[in-house]
Amino acid sequence: MPTALITGASRGLGAAIAAALEPSHTLLLAGRPSPELDEVAARHGATTWPMELTDPDGIAATTEVLTELDVLVHCAGVAYPGRVAESTVEEWRATLAVNTLGPVALTLAVLPALRAARGQVVFINSGAGRNPSPGLASYAASKFALRAFADSLRVDEPELRVTTVYPGRIDTDMQYNLVAYEGGEYRPERFLRPATVAAAVADVVATPADAVVHEVVIRPR
């Protein structure tokens, strides 16, 4: 079976994407070692791939054994809610390190393996990567940069299929924390289910080889 490397798979959307791709792919679940990541891997017969996205040298060292990679899904991300005046430089650095520089470093590290397989790269972006929301200054900036990197990769590596997925609000821990910051009541039914977005990702990956899906925008009803 083809191989898919997924970041941020220990919970939420990343775990749902692992479940959606399990029937068709051998899974490599990248992330910081944790019981949650081990549990997801055991559930889907996957291999855990220890990785710290803020350590480019470590990323290069742990991925150099990959000679071919069919699918790379960038799902890991962080958010520090705060309007511009409330934000700090440290929060901006931390957000960009995980949300933007991490995917850049990982993509560059596995680029030869992706080229060898004429593979696919899927970037999980956000509605904030198209239209900034109040209270998400550094997060929106990191997602706009991620969008530009995905578009540049598509142009510079035409043998690869590159897709950006822009989901609306998803029922995840990150969403719970954002609603708490906003002072609202958390109602899961207002948000997309992780499995719904994961199904859209699986559809992108299953696109016939003569086509590429550039963007997917998915919102709660």
Active site residues: 139
Q: Two tokens at 55?
A: 């350590």
